[in-house]
Chains A and B, each alone.
Chain A
Amino acid sequence: MADCSVETRNLVKRHGAATAVDRVSLQIGRGEFFSILGPSGAGKTSVLRLLAGFERPDEGEVLIEGCPMTGVPPHRRPVNLVFQSYALFPHLTVFQNVAFGLEMRRLPGAEIESRVRAALEMVKLEKQRTRLPSQLSGGEQQRVALARALVNRPAVVLLDEPLAALDQQLRQEMQVELKAIQEQVGVTMVCVTHHQEEALIMSDRVAVMDRGRVLQVGRPRDIYETPASLFVARFVGLSNELTGSVVKLEQGLCGVDPSGLASFRPIMVRCLQDLAIGDRVTVVLRPERVRLSTDLPPPGCENVLAARVEKTIYSGHELHYLLRLSDQVLWKARVANGAGDLKRFAAGEQVFVRWNADEGIVLRA
């Protein structure tokens, strides 16, 4: 990639016998908000620490703005890290914390003053400049940590679970604000998170990692709607699944005969992998794609399965249903509260589950 801000080539990091990072090759464009998403222990923080220079790769290399970073210590890399714990210096004021990097680079005092002021303005903390970190709320500390990184105008800002310590509401506000600041400054951001919704909301592209490997890289929509593997499908969101075998293949669609379910005809879903008749596969459907009705819908291009409502959950903005399709298969449905044709179902009711062929996908089991 010509306009590459961060590039890793076959990065490997071992901790004893365990391989924390396993041949990771990423190309992150300039000005991109790139997230590394994965469960804990996936190696995503190790990748971040390799980029920051706190750890040395056992194999492979890191390039930042085209320059190889092998042997370059953290304090000489054009990257700044926002720590999960923020790591604000407790003995320095907000101003001194933000000014730290500029002072270390021996910038003239007037420039430090103006740049720190601008950075504090951006994160709306001008009034707190003389406070100590211990006198700030969690959200304010998070902003100081962000300002302390951005003020240096690095090529890349690295974020380690940046919003993990914030409560739900503040977290949602900061997701939007962080993305807005990133777009305004135009800096490349690489963010590590285990929170799938956060990654989808903020990122231009997401890499899903598990056990040291990158499983899929793509735009949030690609990751969510066309996951490349069952792991990605399950990790990036709730998924309803049906196993079966391929009985029909036509025009990018795949017909699946679900094992153990009485189906009127093959279930038709999108096919993204190279499959053959007879392959064992799993049909994946997101809960918000499930539509419910009491009457058998007229035959059309929809998939229809019979189910019994096992439980209904009211979450305010959504209604959740647990649907029993068979002894082994339990599906979830989520219906927006306030949708035009909302009909509520009670536990024990017999319903029909419907969805269009292009709403589900099929993955090799």
Chain B
Amino acid sequence: MSTPAASGSTATGSDGNGSLARYPGWILAPGLCWAVLFFFVPLLIVLAVSFASRGTYGGVLWTFSLTNYVNLLHPLYFRIFGRSIFFAAVTTALCLVLGFPLAYYIARLPRRRQGLWLVLVLIPFWTNFLVRTYAWMFILRTEGVINKLLMGAGLIDAPIELLYSDAAVLLGLVYGYLPFMVLPLYAAVERLDPALVEAACDLYASRWSVFRRVVLPLTKPGVIAGCLLVFMPSLGAFITPDLLGGARSMMVGNLIQHEYLVVRDWPLGSALSFVLMGVLIAAMAVYYRIDAGMNQEGSRR
């Protein structure tokens, strides 16, 4: 869902740029048509279905009601949503902590060596996500690489249950979405003038103060972009929790997939999808509110 949204925002963004303003409006048309036809219209269909009800054999009965949304007030769904938000938040935090030093390191390399490192970050994308997740299963399972190595070294007697755990899900999510954090952070750090860091050092700032007072505020757009790019897909992820978490670890994405494909309750699945979207929009709104508040406070003096 992020692709059409992103292309739409780029097109409108160019309006504000004076040098591009002379381009006629119709160059928007292809992207706009695509977005309306294949993104906006299906979304409306899903919205409509979320107010319908399930037929006996899994069809959609077009009777308008709020039943699906009322049913979602069940504590079970709250637990799954809470769990998903928690997983997505932890994934985002881990990606940020792991990604920032990496992005900073790459952005401060000599320019001709940056390309190689960026390619290394992107290499996983050359392989299908499903295949890569299966690879993790081979690494983590009881007869997997890690257990064999540990047992071979005599560190453990019996294999440890690494797969089908929350940790395995987090590992998979962080692995899958880390590049989405690294790339915007790299772009932000790359634009940061190294002289500003030196100036802060010169003005008695410790490493931590340099980071907190200069590097972080000036790379904030990259941090925001990276967090959104990681948080949003991890919240709706279903392959990773399905394969690495097993039956015990259900996230919203699995639930929606389950409702659509297993239970064949499309209306409930649609309602779930819209609540998920609502959660995402709310999270973003809260974030921007906090951010705007901080900016105001920051420039008061």
Contacts and interface: CB of A to CB of B under 8 A. Distances in A.
Contacts of A76: 204
Interface residues of A, number: 28
A80 B301 contact: no
Contacts of B217: 91
Interface string B194-234: 01101111111110010001100110000000000000000
Interface size class of B (residues with CB under 8 A): 20 to 34
Interface string A72-89: 011110011101010111
B199 A87 contact: yes
B301 A95 contact: yes
A218 interface: no
B202 A74 contact: yes
Interface in A57-103: 73-76, 79-81, 83, 85, 87-91, 93, 95-96, 100-101
A106 B298 CA distance: 18
A75 B202 contact: yes
Contacts of A129: 301
Contact of B205 (A75, A81, A83, A88): A75
Interface string A103-117: 011000000000000
B198 A89 contact: no
A49 to B, nearest CB: 9
A357 B293 CA distance: 74
B299 interface: yes
B222 to A, nearest CB: 14
Contact of A91 (B193, B203, B298): B298
Interface in A223-275: none
Closest 9 CB pairs of A and B: A101-B203, A87-B199, A87-B195, A104-B204, A74-B201, A75-B204, A104-B205, A81-B202, A91-B217
Given A75-B202, A81-B202, A91-B298, 6 more contacts: A74-B198, A74-B201, A79-B202, A87-B193, A148-B203, A152-B203
10 contacts: A73-B201, A74-B202, A80-B203, A85-B195, A93-B299, A93-B301, A96-B301, A100-B200, A104-B205, A152-B203
A130 interface: yes
A83 B203 contact: no
A76 B207 CA distance: 12
Nearest to B298: A91
Given A83-B195, A87-B195, A87-B196, A105 B204 contact: yes
Given A85-B193, A101-B204, A148-B203, A54 B301 contact: no
A147 B206 CA distance: 21
Contacts of B299: 93, 130, 132
A365 B205 CA distance: 51
A52 interface: yes
Nearest to B220: A91
A170 to B, nearest CB: 21
A95 B196 CA distance: 17
A91 B218 contact: yes
B281 to A, nearest CB: 28
A339 B299 CA distance: 56
Contacts of B301: 93, 95-96, 129-130
Nearest to A103: B213
Contact of B198 (A83, A96, A104, A152): A83
Contact of B203 (A85, A93, A100, A132): A100
A101 B217 CA distance: 17
B209 A104 contact: yes
B196 A89 contact: yes
A206 to B, nearest CB: 24
Interface string B149-190: 000000000000000000000000000000000000000000
Residue among A85, A88, A93, A100 facing the most chain B CB atoms (10 A cut-off): A100
B298 A80 contact: no
Contacts of A152: 203-204
Contacts of A80: 202-203
